């Protein structure tokens, strides 16, 4: 069966694969459209596996919230350019919504879910996107945040370079007021990167390590043992003030601590508000990026 230009065009629109690959698929399958799609999928699986070793440290962090729960998902690509590709963005956002609605707690569970309107799993859809877009991609990590009553508020900074969720427990029916406070706190978290919510959340080993460092610094400066404990206690207060969200100076008004802002907002609304938790993702943090030697690449190409 002769392969027409319209057949090639239809297959390309259906799959998003390049014209020459579509033509080849139709030729190999005698013009059978469904068989051609399968042929391309098989080829895509092969193409995707070749890209799997390439470092994907760019991409996007997406946030979705429904009711009293929210989810952050990091999906990686190789380049910032691809992170703005509408097909990639749609995949990331759809995957995040699926994850939130299904109750999954990690990306391995997410990968097993059915991807809408495709008959494929999320993992297979990811493979299809790798083959179509031409870059390695990775569902890297996800995290959920939930409150009993109140709101979970999302904030995305720099088109997905940083993603934050903040949980506020409150019986207030003023959803707009809670959301406004939550957004301010989420912006603060994005800017200040507090490791912990409050003093209770700081691991005992972290406190002891800091205490030991501060004590040694005091001894090294020649301070007598009789006052070292008092000095360490005072400096630990500073450590907590820098490390705990509720004790940090509020970025929008450094004369107030974050907890002061929460208490003032609760009083203004005639309710109680508790910051129950927060999560913060920075795109690509911890991924070892390949250092490119441009001169060596040019020399290699010339050779």
**pLDDT digits 0-9 by tens, 194-209:** 999 999 999 999 999 8
Q: Let me know how long the chain is.
A: 303
Structure confidence at residue 290 (pLDDT): 55
Please, are residues 189 and 166 in contact by the beta-carbon 8 Å criterion?
yes
Report the candidate in 86, 41, 34, 39 with the shortest Cα–Cα distance to residue 60: 86
Looking at residues 182-203, what average pLDDT do you find? 97
Structure confidence at residue 10 (pLDDT): 82
Burial (CB count within 10 angstroms: exposed 0-12, middle 13-18, buried 19+), residue 227? exposed
Q: Choose which CATH entry (1.20.1050.140, 1.10.286.20, 3.40.50.970, 1.10.3720.10) describes domain 199-275.
A: 1.10.286.20
Q: Choose which CATH entry (3.30.479.20, 3.30.70.1450, 3.30.70.1380, 3.40.190.10) describes domain 58-146.
A: 3.30.479.20
C-alpha to C-alpha distance for 139 and 154, rounded to whole angstroms: 20
Other CB atoms within 10 Å distance of the CB of residue 206: 13
User: Structural domain boundaries of the chain?
Assistant: 5-51, 58-146, 199-275
Structure confidence at residue 135 (pLDDT): 85
Encode pLDDT of 226-266 as tens digits.
Answer: 888 888 888 999 999 999 999 999 999 999 999 999 999 99
**Is the pLDDT score of 40 beyond 80?**
no
C-alpha to C-alpha distance for 180 and 234, rounded to whole angstroms: 34
Q: Where are the alpha helices (DSSP H) in the chain?
A: 5-15, 19-28, 33-51, 80-83, 86-102, 107-111, 122-133, 175-192, 204-220, 225-243, 258-269, 294-302
Task: Say which DSSP state 200 is in.
Answer: G
Tokens of 84: 């703005």
As a whole number, the mean pLDDT across the chain is 87
Burial (CB count within 10 angstroms: exposed 0-12, middle 13-18, buried 19+), residue 90? exposed
Rounded to two decimals, what is the model's pTM?
0.76
C-alpha to C-alpha distance for 137 and 152, rounded to whole angstroms: 28
CATH number 1.10.8.10 is the correct assignment for the domain at 5-51: yes
């Amino acid at each position: 069966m002769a392969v027409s230009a319209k057949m090639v065009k239809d297959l390309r629109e259906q799959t998003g694969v390049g014209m020459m690959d579509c033509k080849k698929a139709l030729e190999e399958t005698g013009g059978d459209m469904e068989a051609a799609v399968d042929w391309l999928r098989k080829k895509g699986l092969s193409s995707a596996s070749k890209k799997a070793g390439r470092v994907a440290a760019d991409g996007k962090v997406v946030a979705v919230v429904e009711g009293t729960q929210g989810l952050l998902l990091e999906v990686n690509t190789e380049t910032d350019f691809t992170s703005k590709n509408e097909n990639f963005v749609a995949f990331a956002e759809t995957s995040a919504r699926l994850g939130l609605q299904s109750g999954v707690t990690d990306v391995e569970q997410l990968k097993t879910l059915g991807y809408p309107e495709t008959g494929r799993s999320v993992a297979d859809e990811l493979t299809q996107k790798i083959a179509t877009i031409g870059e390695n991609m990775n569902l890297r990590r996800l995290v959920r945040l939930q409150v009993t009553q109140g709101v979970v508020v999302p904030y995305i900074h720099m088109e997905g370079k940083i993603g934050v969720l903040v949980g506020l427990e409150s019986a207030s029916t003023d959803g707009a007021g809670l959301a406004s406070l939550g957004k301010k706190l989420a912006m603060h978290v994005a800017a200040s990167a507090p490791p912990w919510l409050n003093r209770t959340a700081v691991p005992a080993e972290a406190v002891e390590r800091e205490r030991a460092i501060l004590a040694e610094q005091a001894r090294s400066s020649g301070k007598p043992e009789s006052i070292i404990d008092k000095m360490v206690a005072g400096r630990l207060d500073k450590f907590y003030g820098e490390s705990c969200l509720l004790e940090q100076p509020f970025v929008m008004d450094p004369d107030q601590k974050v907890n002061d802002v929460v208490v003032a907002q609760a009083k203004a609304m005639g309710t109680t508000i508790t910051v129950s938790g927060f999560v913060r993702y920075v795109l690509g943090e911890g991924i070892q990026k390949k250092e490119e030697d441009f001169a060596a690449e040019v020399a290699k190409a010339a050779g």
